[in-house]
Every structure is written in C-alpha cells, then in structure tokens.
Amino acid sequence: MRHVATSDRNAYDRCIFHLFDTEGEFLLILGLGVYPNLGVIDAYATLRTGSTLYATRASDALSDENRMRMAVGPLRIEVERPLHDFRLTCAADPDDPDGLAYEITWRADFPALWEPHHTQRRGARLTLEGKRFVQAGRAEGRLRAGGRESEVRGWTGTRDRSWGVRPVPGEEGGRFAEDRPTEGFHWIWAPVRFDDRFLMVVVQEDADGYRTLNDATLVREGHRDRQLGWPRADIAYRPGTRHPSGAVVHLTDPADGTPLDLGVEILTSSPLAVGAGYPPAEDWQHGTWRGPGWTDRRVYDLSDPAAHPLAAYGVSDHAARFTLGGQVGHGIFEHGSFGRHDPSGFTGFDSVAPARP
C-alpha cells in the first residue's frame, strides 16, 4: 500500500457516505480521500437541514504513518467490521458550540456491489479510470448542528468506495482542454435501499446521448444479482433550472421483459460543489494542498441559488423516496447535467428547463 501503481499525479483512493432520514429533514454527506502522488489526505462532512448547510473540511500531509488511518483533523472513519460496521465521527469544535459534530454507527444491510469499470478519455489521453463498489445499510447515533442535538435512528445509509485516477485541480488547461472542450455531461447515480433488496442504477452520457457508463442491478440476500436492462430516465426539472423535482427511471424485468418503473420523489438536496469539495467548488477542492493540519468550518445559506452560481455546473446529491413494484425505498438520486445533452433538449451550458405553460 505504500507505493501506488502509477506515477499519475491524479491517483486517488476515496470513500463517500450518505445518511438521511426518510422525511428529508437531514442529509449528511461525508467522505475521506488520499492522493499518494500529491502527498495529501483530506476529509469533509456536510449536513443539510432546512436551507442551511453546515460544513467541516480538513486536510493534512500524507505520510507512511497515516496512510492507512482514516482520520484527518476532527473527522474520522473507523472500520469495526470490514464491509459491515463503521463508526463515523466529527469531533465538536470547543470554540464553536453551534458547529457540526456527530458520532454515528453505519451498518450494512446488503453485500457490497461492484459498479462498472469507469473510464473517461480526452482525445487519446486517459483522464479517469476508477474501480468502485457501493453498499446500502442504516445509521444510528447522534449529531449536533446549530445548537440543536438530534438523534439518528433508522436513517438510510449508502456508501461508495472508489480508487484509481481522477482529475485533481491543477492542470485543467493546456492543449487537450483547448483542442477538445467539454460539450456536455449527463450523469445519474442512484443507490436505493428497500426492506429486502438493494438497487443500483448508474448512467453517464455524452452531449449526443452516447452512453459511456450503464448499469441497473438488483441485489437480494441469498440470490444471484439481477440485471434490470438499459435504464432510461424521464427527469422533471424545475423551470429555469436543471434541478430535478422528480423522475421516473424505466427498467426491465430480465425474466420476461416486463417494464419496471422506478419512481423518484426528491426530499432534500445538497450540491457537492458547496462545502463538500467537488468541482467546480471555489473555496476548496479535494486533493489540493492546504498545508499541514488545515481545518475549516463553514455555514452556507442555500435558500438563494444565485449565491452559489457554480453549484449548477456540478453534481448534486438528492435524498429521495423511491417506488418500485409497489415497494417504497429510500436512497440517493445523484444527478448532474451541464452543457449540451440532446436527449434532454439542452443545447448548451446556458440551456435550462423551460417555464411551464
């Protein structure tokens, strides 16, 4: 583990957890990553409640001593039982009693599921190659934010672990970017937990609708995984935006070809470009060097989208209620659509959903 298999500066190893209640009052997103060829380890946690987003971020120098220890500043992820039980911690700031803090146990309900091998190229250059798995479970514990302490009980929990090569800020320009500008990007990533099964849907399309990533797999304990065909999503967007208000993902029963519709009802949302360090965040992004022992805590007001204009050009995570075949489940509907996307009728980066008649 000391020596990564590539000299690419963008080599990474990262995880993300989503935890939320079934009413959409809270959405907690947290993660940790290491960047061995940049010498950086960092972590983050964001909590959306109402229109307020509480964020804690930390970064440090990666060394042999902390390479295998998932802890940065006040943020810590402990593996109590591999692929099953985890303890998630954000220590309180003694100087900020209103800041984010939590102590939560995450337990798996289903086996981990491999996601498709993910690659992207810019011309002849490989810019992203990731291997990843996803898992669903539940969360218990306590959290505190804004001077209010809340119990975490029966919350839905999903997690994703990925590693490989993924762009880190610092070399986005140059000839490749100039010769091959990005025309469009369309993304859906949806892990859904039902009482007796777990469904994973992932879709990535280019500007013309060409699909570069595709999977819809249903997992049940003791049964072979079922592949539910070629997912096709009808997304309802809020007028004047690309923010989904709901969706229907069309799937197929492999046994007889019967159509299956996955309904999506958005409960609450958190843009990953605000607080969580995903591009195109302005104040901090994963893998960037902030010096040893850096910790930053912030509170964002999400009531006015105009205050965070770049969030529209990044991926957002939506806690959602899902329906499938009469069953109700909960999960994450992660979505990003920017630039041209012919199947959706978007013509460019300034194109949004039309106003309703």
- Could you tell me what percent of the chain has a pLDDT over 90? 86
Decide if 81 is inside a domain: yes
321 pLDDT higher than 70: yes
CA–CA distance, 107 with 104 (Å, rounded to integer): 10
In tens, the pLDDT along 67-113 reads: 889 999 999 999 999 999 999 999 999 998 899 999 999 999 999 99
Check whether 355 has a pLDDT greater than 90: no
Each residue's pLDDT tens digit, 42-77: 999 999 999 999 999 999 999 988 888 999 999 999
Report the pLDDT value the prediction gives residue 102, as an integer from 0 to 100. 98
Q: With contact defined as beta carbons under 8 Å apart, do 164 and 128 qualify?
A: yes
Say how far apart CA 159 and CA 271 lie, in whole Å: 17
Res 174: pLDDT: 65
* 3-class DSSP assignment, residue 15: strand
Position 141 scores a pLDDT of: 98
Average pLDDT, the chain: 94
Give me 226's structure tokens: 């079922």
Residue 29: inside a domain: yes
Q: What pLDDT does residue 245 have?
A: 96
Provide the domain count of the chain.
1
- State the CATH number of the domain containing residue 142: 2.40.370.10
- SS3 annotation, 264-309: EEEEEEEECCCCCCCCCCCCCCCCCCCCCCEEEEEEEECCCHHHCH
pTM over 0.85: yes
What pLDDT shows up at residue 66? 82
Burial of 149 (0-12, 13-18, 19+ CB in 10 A): exposed
Residue 127, in any domain of the structure: yes
Q: Does residue 19 sit within a domain?
A: yes
Main-chain dihedrals φ then ψ at residue 110, nearest 5 degrees:
-140, 155
Q: Is residue 117 exposed (0-12), middle (13-18) or buried (19+ Cβ within 10 Å)?
A: exposed
Mean pLDDT calculated for residue range 220-224: 81
Mean pLDDT within 336-357: 93
Q: Report how far Cα 134 is from the mean position of its chain's Cα atoms.
A: 11
Q: What is the pLDDT of residue 274?
A: 98
Handedness of CA 134, 290, 36, 117 (dihedral sign): positive
Q: Is residue 173 part of a domain?
A: no
Work out the pLDDT band at 173, boundaries 50, 70, 90: low
Q: Which ranges of the chain would DSSP assign to H, the alpha helix?
A: 175-179
SS3 percent helix, strand, coil of the chain, rounded to 5, is: 5, 55, 40
User: How does strand 75-81 pair with strand 85-90?
Assistant: antiparallel
Q: Is residue 156 part of a domain?
A: yes
Q: Residue 27: beta bridge partners?
A: 20, 48
Q: For residue 220, is it within any domain?
A: yes
d(CA 42, CA 290): 10
- One-letter amino acid at 75 equals L
Task: Indicate whether 121 pLDDT > 90.
Answer: no
In which element (H, E) is residue 198 found?
Answer: strand 198-205
Look-up: residue for tokens 């001593």?
A: 65
Residue-by-residue DSSP string for 93-137: BTTBTTS-EEEEEEEESS--EEPPPEEEEETTEEEEEEEEEEEEE
Domain that holds residue 134: 12-166+183-344
pLDDT on residue 357: 61
Q: What is the pLDDT at residue 199?
A: 97
Q: Is beta strand 198-205 parallel, antiparallel or unpaired with respect to 71-72?
A: unpaired
Say what the pLDDT of residue 33 is: 97
| Largest distance between two CA atoms of the chain | 61
More confident residue, 82 or 1: 82
Q: Does residue 200 fall inside a structural domain?
A: yes
| Average of per-residue pLDDT across 241-261 | 96
Q: What is the tens place of the pLDDT at every residue in 257-297?
A: 999 999 999 999 999 999 999 999 999 999 999 999 999 99
Whether the Cβ atoms of residue 233 and residue 249 lie closer than 8 Å to each other: yes
